[in-house]
A and B are shown apart, each in its own frame.
Chain A
Amino acid sequence: MSEADLRVTIGGLVFKNPVLTASGTFGYGKEFAPYVNLHHLGGVVVKGISLEPRRGNSPPRIVETAGGMLNAIGLENVGLDRFITEKMPYLLGIGTRVVVNILGDSLEEYQTLGQRLNEVEGISALEVNISCPNVKKGGVAFGTDPAMAEAVTRAVCAHTTLPVIVKLSPNVTDIAQIARAVEAGGAQGISLINTLLGMAIDVKSRRPRLANIVGGLSGPAIKPIALRMVWQVAQAVKIPVIGIGGITTTEDALEFLLAGATAIEVGTANFVNPRASQDIVEGLGRYVMENKLDGISEVIGGLILN
Chain B
Amino acid sequence: MNQCEEQAEIVRQEQLTPDIFRLTLTAPQIASSARPGQFVMVQTTSYYDPLLRRPLSIHQTVADEQVQLMYKVVGKGTRLLAGMTPGQKLNLTGPLGHGFDLAGRQAICLVGGGMGIAPLYFLAREILRTNKPPKCVVLLGARTAAELGPLPRDFMDIGITETHLATDDASLGHHGFVADLLAQHLNPDHQWTVCTCGPHPMMKAVVSQCRKQGWGCQVSLETMMACGISACLGCAIPPADLSGPYLHVCKDGPVFKAEEVAWL
Contact = CB atoms under 8 A, between A and B. Distances in A.
Interface of A: 24-27, 31-35, 47, 53, 55-56, 58-64, 66-69, 71, 73, 76, 219-220, 248, 268, 270-275
Contacts of B229: 27, 31-32, 274
B233 interface: yes
16 contacts: A25-B232, A26-B231, A56-B233, A59-B224, A59-B237, A62-B224, A62-B232, A64-B50, A64-B52, A66-B49, A67-B49, A69-B51, A73-B233, A219-B48, A268-B226, A272-B53
Nearest to B52: A64
B54 to A, nearest CB: 10
A31 B93 contact: no
B231 A271 contact: yes
Interface of B: 1, 3-5, 43, 48-53, 91, 93, 223-227, 229-238, 245-246
| 3 A-B pairs with least C-beta separation | A62-B234, A271-B227, A27-B231
A237 B93 CA distance: 41
Contacts of A63: 224
Nearest to A248: B48
Nearest to A59: B236
B48 A271 contact: no
Given A69-B52, A271-B53, A34 B4 contact: yes
Interface of chain A, helix or strand or loop or mixed?
Answer: loop
Contacts of A66: 49
B76 to A, nearest CB: 9
Contacts of A58: 238
A58 B264 CA distance: 13
Nearest to A54: B245
B226 A69 contact: yes
B48 A220 contact: yes
Given A60-B224, A73-B233, A55 B246 contact: yes
A271 B52 contact: yes
A273 B43 contact: yes
A76 B48 CA distance: 27
A26 B233 CA distance: 10
B3 A272 contact: no
Contacts of B245: 53, 55
A61 B233 contact: yes
Contact of B231 (A31, A53, A55, A219): A31
A61 B233 CA distance: 8
A248 B229 CA distance: 18
Given A33-B1, A34-B4, A56-B246, A61 B51 contact: no
Nearest to B50: A64
